[in-house]
Structure 1
Amino acid sequence: MTWTRHHVLGLADWVKDEYDTLLQTASSFREVLSRRTKKVPALQGLVVTNMFFEPSTRTRSSFELAAKRLSADILNFAPGSSSLTKGETILDTAKTYLAMGTNIMVIRHKEAGVPQAIAAEMDRLDTGVSILNAGDGQHEHPSQGLLDLFTICSLLDCDKPRLELLNGKKIAIVGDILHSRVARSNIWSLTAAGANVHLVGPPTLVPEWFKGMKNDSHSGELFLHWELEPALENADFVMTLRLQKERMTDYLLPSLREYHQLYGMTRNRLQLCHPDVKILHPGPVNRGVEISSDLMDDPQFSLIQQQVTSGIAVRMALLFLIGTSSEMVE
């Protein structure tokens, strides 16, 4: 299969072949990561710049390690000690890294659209630089959506993860849908796979307009709930989301205690799900709020650590594919 995508800014327009190419490539890199020598020269000589304008542990570290495993050179941007504090614009900062020889920019920003703006400027200047969106505002977080997809598909078939494995599966996404870029990316990827996605949370955090995110070309269905039980009934997978208190400008919740009582995942509530149900969470986790601590740490149900591990292989695949976009992917 041929990979032609130069930037990865979101998943809304991805097609089946792209997902399967990504999954197969990530699977091959997972095998690389299981070796004693975990490094390959795939991107040797290329420069990857991590431009994170927002705090991050998992995503930033995962992208940095992924680039190092591919033998790329790494530049890390720290906004607090950069020329932004002196009045430099974000586009001028990006052009500075361009002048240093950057080939791929991995960008996270609290405002939606910043990676797209930088990508447009790089294209206008005909630089050949690729942009990878590591999360922008309340828009998307494509690499998280892809690593969640890879984690689930690998559980269903470790040797050959592929999109068709999720056809007809029921997946509940619970929590702060309104502020979640992770939820948006997962809606696109999971419905493209044919999964039926059930969004559930308080009415203030699951607005009615989310129904409009259904892509008519996707075979999976999208459902909204404001009560937990119907969303969990016979669910194959449950993804809990962090309450993003830093983004809540209005009083959207009475209290964290009440939220946990109504929407927190516990062992008792798992009884509503399919017997083989698995739990995911993109992190960071508010223990005892979105999910009980004992459930989070139970390997029988929790895929949270597998998500972190999958993230390195998936981000290696993304960097590799956009870094060698003119080559054939086998």
Structure 2
Amino acid sequence: MSNLETRPDERTCEAGPDAGGVQVLAHRDVPLGGPRSMDVRRTIPQRVRSLVGAWCFCDHYGPDDVSRSAGMQVPPHPHTGLQTVSWLFEGEILHRDSTGSLETVRPGELNLMTAGRGISHSEESPSGRRAPRLHGVQLWTALPAAHLDDAPSFEHRGSLPTVLALGARVQVFLGSLGLGGRVVTSPATAYSPLVGAQIDLDPGSDVLLDVDPGFEHGLLVDAGEVRLEGEVVPPSSLGYVGTGRTALRVQASNDGPARVVLIGGEPFEEEIVMWWNFVGRTHDDVARARADWTAQLAADGGYVPGADALRFGEVLGYGGPPLPAPRLPDVRLRPRRRV
């Protein structure tokens, strides 16, 4: 998914210190506008915490009624230096990218795109018959410096490992996670030690997740009343806990079921700069990426001839022009200090 903000902040992101207990990160509403006309609830990055492991972006959206509209319509746009992780609770999204991938993702399946030195893609609700509601999360992970120049790639995982125990269902889409003494591992490619999983909780369930003590974790609550390590985490908020734990306690109230998404990983020590859809290490990295994308776009809004051979390639088959990049800030922003 693209960041469709017309004046996106440029951010120099760093991991920040571990919180002593549970740090609750409230979301902010971000109107993405355009033909998609969707609002998302963004928990990271934000001023108090930019990263959870290598996870650097978390948008939570829906449920949105797409039965009487065009649904999601995100025109071709570029990415660098990251992986996009598309994960749905309801609905379906059709993905196209400049490597030639064409894949529909549905609940319980994973679309994982690795930008490396540069890729472009589009996302849209399929035309014709489709699920009436769209609901999910869009996550990004920052690539380590050693992989910033990797060739772009795409993976679709239609079958992912699941464990049922203790009143919970855990489906792991990246990394490994344990429940009830059983550890399951996703086959998807990760470039740093991390974990991502959906956890569905029965009413009144009280579970201990077996986690890596070298990881920090964030728990995004999609639905229900949930406690993390005894602390209430409201819906659409992210509960953060630092390293040093071998287990995480997650509880659902007796009033109904709950659904959460767990993200985590080793603290990402590299400083990154995020702006629009680019992740780099310096202001110059993102400025160069913006210039390269702009050079691919023609004055009439389409692609210049031969764009398929340029840095971000060309997305074929989407029924509209690519997104132009917003204007860069007029000043170079200083790195954020650790909180």
Q: Which has the higher helix share?
A: 1
TM-score by length of 1: 0.31
TM-score by length of 2: 0.31
Q: Which has the higher strand share?
A: 2
